[in-house]
């Protein structure tokens, strides 16, 4: 057999091998589940975890009438006033279902059949009200952090004394006026407490108190004050930023765009407060509170070594002590509220207020 014949045989063998390998791959690869639109009725609840251990945070979820649990995404954006984030509340939810596994903090997993990217949520008639408590107060009394000083026909004047995360000794408080519907509860601690009625003639007011789903891991949930934020003027410590200053953010497509800071926060922390030292494989790192939201609808303490985040791999996630008096955050204008902190793209806690 001549050399040309040998070459042809080799080419045929290679082609057959490639075709066979391709056919094997197509026949044996697992079909990826396709997200689909669903509507589920049930009760708002804290998702149960698989196995033992783990942290005690409450991850918002739905216990369907079929007994199955679903993780819920996008609820806080659809429900900024937390009207539907009441455990035990019966609701009907529509959205895109994805049969994905839900990871929890410290390597734990939630016992859920998947997640629903919520498009709409509505209360089911006849929902239980057992999670609500009516509280009646009058002038001179204190409810939550609010001291009642004067009851007017349409509003209530008083002073506000911040109690979380640390109560300030001899705090003079700040003037505050409440109107019907105002919430004095600490939602980050899982409490909603709204002013629901004013009895001017009887000089009493009524609050409705309810247990709600805590927002993203509790308080405080912000950044180390020395964290450098990307701005058109260069890197600026977050503690030095003010409303109206320019900052880099992203649009919904992920493109880098210029925005303006619309809100800032400075939250006092106790001496026992701990931060997460997050380090990515590409060398970027920062100190951030465990409950700070990420850009993919998780919180920082949900991240585990090996996870993909912001185009890199998580190299380490370590709890460390914090020696500053406060944590800080900002909210850029625009479509996402995202910003770069020490080169790592984060969501803003102020997106959920």
Q: Which of 114, 326, 328, 343 is nearest to 228 (CA)?
A: 343
Least trusted range by pLDDT, from 30-39, 159-168, 196-205, 227-236: 159-168
Would you state the pLDDT for residue 216?
Answer: 44
Q: Considering just the CA atoms, what is the radius of gyration of the chain in Å? A: 26
Structure tokens at 85: 């984030």
Domain that holds residue 140: 132-211
Report percent pLDDT > 90 for the chain. Answer: 44
pLDDT at 51: 63
Whether 205 and 252 share a structural domain: no
174: β partners: 160
Q: Place 34 in a pLDDT band, splitting at 50, 70 and 90.
A: low
The answer as to whether 25 is a domain residue is no
DSSP assignment string, 148-210 = EEEE-SSEEEEEE---SS-PPTT---EEEEEETT-B-S-GGGTEEEEEEEEETTTTEEEEEEE
| Same structural domain, 232 and 341 | yes
Together in a domain, 58 and 115: yes
Domain of 247, CATH number, reads 2.170.16.10
Whether 103 and 147 share a structural domain: no
The per-residue pLDDT for 292 is 85
* Cα 286–chain centre separation: 18
Whole-Å CA distances, 137 to 47, 48, 182, 193 = 35, 36, 15, 13
Give the pLDDT band of residue 327 (cuts 50, 70, 90): confident
How is residue 83 annotated by DSSP?
S
Residue 8 lies in a domain: no
* pLDDT tens figures, 253-300: 999 999 999 999 887 765 556 788 999 999 999 999 887 889 988 888
Tokens 């040998």 locate to 6
Q: Is the pLDDT of residue 165 over 90?
A: no
pTM for the model: 0.46
Give the number of domains in the chain. 3
**Higher pLDDT, residue 119 or 59:** 119
pLDDT(23) > 80: no
**What's the mean pLDDT in 85-109?**
81
Does 254 share its domain with 287?
A: yes
Q: Can you give the pLDDT at residue 74? A: 80
Mean pLDDT value across residues 118-146? 81
Q: How confident is the model at residue 129 (pLDDT cuts 50, 70, 90)?
A: very low
Please check whether residues 159 and 94 belong to one and the same domain: no
Same domain as 108, residue 49: yes
Specify the higher pLDDT residue, 43 or 87: 43
Domain shared by 193 and 272, yes or no: no
Mean pLDDT of 68-97: 82
Residue 11 belongs to some domain of the structure = no
pLDDT, mean over the chain:
82
pLDDT for the residue 49: 77
On the question of pLDDT at 236 being above 90, the answer is yes
On the question of pLDDT at 25 being above 70, the answer is no
| pLDDT of the residue at 32 | 53
CATH of the domain at 77: 2.40.50.500
**Same domain, residue pair 119 and 138:** no
190 and 303 both lie in a single domain: no
Domain stop point among 70, 102, 123: 123
* C-alpha–C-alpha distance, residues 339 and 301, integer Å: 19
Q: H helices of the chain, where?
A: 3-28, 75-78
For the cut 60, the answer to whether the pLDDT of residue 221 exceeds it is yes
Q: Which residues pair with 64 in a beta bridge?
A: 42
Classify residue 23: in a domain, yes or no: no
Quickly state the pLDDT bin for 197 (edges 50, 70, 90): very high
Tell me, yes or no, whether 295 lies in a domain: yes
- Residue 21 falls within a domain, yes or no? no
Do the domain assignments include residue 13?
A: no
Q: Which is more confident, 321 or 315? A: 315
Q: How much of the chain exceeds pLDDT 70, in percent?
A: 75
Q: Is residue 9 part of a domain?
A: no
Do 232 and 325 belong to one domain?
yes
Regarding whether 118 and 137 lie in a shared domain, the answer is no
Q: Are 281 and 303 contacting, i.e. CB atoms less than 8 angstroms apart?
A: no
């Amino acid at each position: 057999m001549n050399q040309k014949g040998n070459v042809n045989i080799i080419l045929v063998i290679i082609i057959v091998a490639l075709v066979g390998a391709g056919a094997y791959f197509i026949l044996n690869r697992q079909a990826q589940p396709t997200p689909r639109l669903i509507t589920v009725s049930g009760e708002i609840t804290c998702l149960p975890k698989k196995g033992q251990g783990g942290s005690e945070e409450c991850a918002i979820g739905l216990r369907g009438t079929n007994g199955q649990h679903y993780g819920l995404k996008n609820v806080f954006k659809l429900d900024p006033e937390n009207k539907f984030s009441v455990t035990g509340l019966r609701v009907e939810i529509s959205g895109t279902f994805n049969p994905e596994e839900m990871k929890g903090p410290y390597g734990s997993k939630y016992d859920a059949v998947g997640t629903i990217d919520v498009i709409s949520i509505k209360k089911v008639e006849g929902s239980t009200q057992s999670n609500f408590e009516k509280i009646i107060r009058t002038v001179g009394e204190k409810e939550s952090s609010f001291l009642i000083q004067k009851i007017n026909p349409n509003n209530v004047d008083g002073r506000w004394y911040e109690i979380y995360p640390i109560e300030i000794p001899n705090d003079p408080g700040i003037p505050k006026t409440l109107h019907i519907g105002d919430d004095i509860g600490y939602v980050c601690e899982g409490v909603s407490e709204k002013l629901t009625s004013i009895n001017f003639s009887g000089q009493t007011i009524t609050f409705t108190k309810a247990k709600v789903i805590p927002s993203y891991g509790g308080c405080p949930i912000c950044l180390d004050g020395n964290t450098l934020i990307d701005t058109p003027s260069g890197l600026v410590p977050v503690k030095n930023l003010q409303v109206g200053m320019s900052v880099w953010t992203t649009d919904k497509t992920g493109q880098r765009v210029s925005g303006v800071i619309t809100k800032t926060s400075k939250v006092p922390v106790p001496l026992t407060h701990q931060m997460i030292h997050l380090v990515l494989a590409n060398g970027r790192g920062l100190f951030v509170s465990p409950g700070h939201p990420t850009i993919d609808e998780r919180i920082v303490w949900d991240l585990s070594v090996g996870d993909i985040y912001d185009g890199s791999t998580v190299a380490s996630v370590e709890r460390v002590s914090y020696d500053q008096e406060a944590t800080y955050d900002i909210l850029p204008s625009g479509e996402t509220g995202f910003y770069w902190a020490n080169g790592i793209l984060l969501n803003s806690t102020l997106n959920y207020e």
